[in-house]
Amino acid sequence: MADATPADLISGATGDWETVIGLEVHAQVVSKSKLFSGAATAFGAEPNSQVSLVDAAMPGMLPVINAECIAQAVRTGLGLKAQINLESVFDRKNYFYPDLPQGYQISQFSRPIVGEGEVVVDLEDGGSVTVGIERLHLEQDAGKSLHDQHPDFSYVDLNRSGVALMEIVSKPDIRSADQAKAYVTKLRSILRYLGTCDGNMEQGSLRADVNVSVRKPRGELGTRCEIKNVNSIRTIGLAVDYEARRQIDIIEDGGAIHQETRLFDPDTGATRAMRSKEEARDYRYFPDPDLLPLVLTQDYVDDLAAHLPELPDRKHARFMADYSLAAYDADVLVADKEAADFFEAVAGGLDAKAAANWVINEVMGRINKEGMAFSDIPVSAEANKAILQMTADGTISGKIAKDVLDIAWKEGGDPRAIVEQRGLEQVSDSGEIEKVVDEIIAANPKQVEQVKGKPKTLGWFVGQVMQATGGKANPKSVNQILRKKLEL
């Protein structure tokens, strides 16, 4: 188990405290149909339009396991370098709630499909920590109560009832809010690479229960509180920080922490008690008699393993080795699979560092600014590659390259045609540049005087020439010609 670095410690009246965090992440499985029924799982459908008789728990209906959900859970386990359990069991978790028509949730308790694994979490300072995975189990999602549709009644939407979730439980290996955020970010990236969860937290496809305790550095584990259903990465950080400070204050005031479930209120930035351990439900787990134990063969697991896509850590290493990228550039590109794929489609045959800079600064910069998804990008990888090729072979200047991207982004069109039609080719012809240089020298005797004593002011002349040529002059030629004419 990792120890907190001094920077992660929180100082209290009685000295430093260490935060200990373990996360239970609920990830909705990417699958066209539900865990035990053929009903669809699309987000945002009309209420109760995706409900089979099984999901509505009509008497006599029997669950039938969806093989694709099993495959997705195994793929995820493999991606988390985890033990795959060839035999696992579905249990009934019994509780009453209006959005749970069965009166129980089918889940896995003592024998989950996936056992111990690990996630290497990249931190902002360039370091990393390894967070252990305790288990991953499959379970059904519940429906949703709607309290705002009618003055006197609550409604229930069962579209989500029976949708497959993976609950991914970490060990209490996380030591700060930043680590918790980085862990969920990395886990989400792995799930997206695997195609097993879309990771969309706004739509509830990924949500976390955050367990927090505090202790004196390296001391005994403290009593934890569990903050339920935190649904954004930013909020996970806020909830951890608030909760750690709350617990420290109680202990330092002579109080004790009692294990309880809490809720984070984004409006107040505080957590508040929901139920204590004494009020905790007894779920009376028992094996679901409608389902046989789930038995997998090693061949089945090996086949899924053989077809796993390249995951972020491997891709990161390859980007550094094959393209000689700096670790930071590789981090940025690999964090988003679409960005990584885009980079590779652009980079082939070009200077990889230049391609990485272009994709990170120009392409991702514009995408982030406009808050769009990579899949909605208006200028294809091929078109971006064409712009970089024109820059590399001197057809256009670096400045014009950005203008061409702007034009293609807003108006569409093929970059080569844009350059040709608008006459944006770089002017390397020394005759033409000399003419402009001569004019500028003649018109600015004062600056000419100045540059003799202060050669650094040459940049001003370069700027003037670039302006006069609409940014099309080759900056290298401009520099050479200016130095010659100004006798520098």
- Chain contacts with ligand ADP (rule: CB under 6 A): 20-24, 169-172, 211-213, 221-222, 224, 226
Q: Which is nearer to Mg ion, 24 or 198 (CB)?
A: 24
Q: Which does 477 bind (CB under 5 to 8 A by kind): ligand ADP, Mg ion, none?
A: none
Q: Which is nearer to ligand ADP, 112 or 415 (CB)?
A: 112
| Minimum separation from the CB atom of position 212 to ligand ADP (A) | 6
Q: Can you point out the beta strands (E) in 29-143?
A: 87-88, 91-94, 104-107, 117-122, 128-140
Q: Which does 162 bind (CB under 5 to 8 A by kind): Mg ion, ligand ADP, none?
A: none
| Minimum separation from the CB atom of position 233 to ligand ADP (A) | 17
Residue with the closest Cβ to Mg ion? 24
Q: Which does 117 bind (CB under 5 to 8 A by kind): Mg ion, ligand ADP, none?
A: none
Structure-block tokens of residue 57: 């728990």
On whether the CB atoms of residues 200 and 192 are closer than 8 A, the answer is no
The three-class DSSP label of residue 12 is: strand
Quick one: DSSP state of residue 294?
Answer: E
Residue with the closest Cβ to ligand ADP? 22
Alpha helices per DSSP H over 324-411: 327-334, 337-347, 352-357, 365-370, 381-392, 398-411
Structure-block tokens of residue 295: 């038995």
Q: Which does 159 bind (CB under 5 to 8 A by kind): ligand ADP, Mg ion, none?
A: none
Closest CA to 321 of 352, 358, 360: 352
CA distance 340 to 317: 13
| Minimum separation from the CB atom of position 113 to ligand ADP (A) | 15
Structure-block tokens of residue 486: 């100004």
> 């996970």: which residue's tokens?
236
On whether the CB atoms of residues 198 and 30 are closer than 8 A, the answer is yes
| Minimum separation from the CB atom of position 331 to Mg ion (A) | 31
Q: Which does 21 bind (CB under 5 to 8 A by kind): ligand ADP, Mg ion, none?
A: ligand ADP
Q: Which does 171 bind (CB under 5 to 8 A by kind): ligand ADP, Mg ion, none?
A: ligand ADP
Q: Which does 136 bind (CB under 5 to 8 A by kind): Mg ion, ligand ADP, none?
A: none
In the window 4-33, what residues touch Mg ion (CB under 5 A)?
Answer: 24
| Minimum separation from the CB atom of position 69 to ligand ADP (A) | 20
On whether the CB atoms of residues 217 and 3 are closer than 8 A, the answer is yes
Alpha helices per DSSP H over 108-160: none
Q: Which is nearer to Mg ion, 24 or 434 (CB)?
A: 24
| Minimum separation from the CB atom of position 76 to ligand ADP (A) | 16
| Minimum separation from the CB atom of position 235 to ligand ADP (A) | 17
Closest CA to 65 of 38, 94, 28, 101: 38
Sheet with 286-287, strands from edge to edge, namely 104-107, 91-94, 286-287
Q: Which does 181 bind (CB under 5 to 8 A by kind): Mg ion, ligand ADP, none?
A: none
On whether the CB atoms of residues 478 and 398 are closer than 8 A, the answer is no
Q: Which is nearer to ligand ADP, 162 or 222 (CB)?
A: 222
Q: Which is nearer to ligand ADP, 209 or 331 (CB)?
A: 209
Pairing of strands 286-287, 15-28: unpaired
| Minimum separation from the CB atom of position 125 to Mg ion (A) | 31
| Minimum separation from the CB atom of position 371 to Mg ion (A) | 34
CA distance 413 to 419: 10
CA distance 270 to 9: 20
Q: Which is nearer to ligand ADP, 25 or 340 (CB)?
A: 25
Max CA distance (Å), the chain: 97
Q: Which does 221 bind (CB under 5 to 8 A by kind): Mg ion, ligand ADP, none?
A: ligand ADP
Q: Which is nearer to ligand ADP, 220 or 411 (CB)?
A: 220
Q: Which is nearer to ligand ADP, 286 or 328 (CB)?
A: 286
Q: Which does 22 bind (CB under 5 to 8 A by kind): ligand ADP, Mg ion, none?
A: ligand ADP
Q: Which is nearer to Mg ion, 14 or 276 (CB)?
A: 276
On whether the CB atoms of residues 177 and 240 are closer than 8 A, the answer is yes
| Minimum separation from the CB atom of position 244 to Mg ion (A) | 20
Q: Which is nearer to Mg ion, 90 or 323 (CB)?
A: 90
Q: Give ∠ CA 105-280-243 in degrees, rounded to 5.
A: 110
CA dihedral 347→351→354→358, nearest 10 degrees, is -20
Question: Where along the sequence are the contacts to Mg ion (CB under 5 A)?
Answer: 24
